[in-house]
């Protein structure tokens, strides 16, 4: 079945460091790919998405490119801030209309 695998956390970085969170997927067909972010005590919010191969999603300095050949959708940010501390979820949207989530990666950014 469809699945998403993320790098394990927690990830701890200093402010202004470069961030990469790896995400790979297994799916039949051509899923859409998403990154959601969950701040402490809140629900998930869409961060960015890409709906077809080679699409790049971007928002708030974060970027991810849909790589069909490597079945990946890695999240990157050039310079993280303390306010980026949160849990990040990679997800795929399959043809059945479901979102399949990865296990989440906790990011902690220190000043």
Partner 1 sequence: DAGVIQSPRHEVTEMGQEVTLRCKPISGHDYLFWYRQTMMRGLELLIYFNNNVPIDDSGMPEDRFSAKMPNASFSTLKIQPSEPRDSAVYFCASSWGPSRSTDTQYFGPGTRLTVL
Residues 21, 57, 66, 104: which binds partner 1 (CB under 8 A)? Answer: 104
Q: How far is the CB of 109 from partner 1 (least distance, A)?
A: 22
Residues 19, 21, 23, 44: which binds partner 1 (CB under 8 A)? Answer: 44
CA pseudo-torsion sign 23, 11, 82, 89: positive
Which stretch, 7-15, 37-45, 60-68, 69-77, contacts partner 1 (CB under 8 A)? Answer: 37-45
* Structure tokens, 91: 């997800």
Q: How far is the CB of 2 from partner 1 (least distance, A)?
A: 11
Cα gap 73→34, rounded to integer Å = 8
Angle made by CA atoms 60, 14, 5, in degrees to the nearest 5: 65
């Amino acid at each position: 079945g469809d699945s998403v695998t993320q790098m394990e956390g927690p990830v701890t970085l200093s402010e202004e460091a470069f961030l990469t969170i790896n995400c790979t997927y297994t799916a039949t067909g051509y899923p859409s790919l998403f990154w959601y972010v969950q701040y402490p005590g809140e629900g998930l919010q869409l961060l960015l998405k890409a709906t077809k191969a080679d699409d790049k999603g971007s928002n708030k300095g974060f970027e991810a490119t849909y790589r069909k050949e490597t079945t990946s959708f890695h999240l990157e940010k050039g310079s993280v801030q303390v306010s980026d501390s949160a849990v990040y979820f990679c997800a795929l949207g399959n043809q059945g209309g479901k979102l399949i989530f990865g296990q989440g990666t906790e990011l902690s950014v220190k000043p």
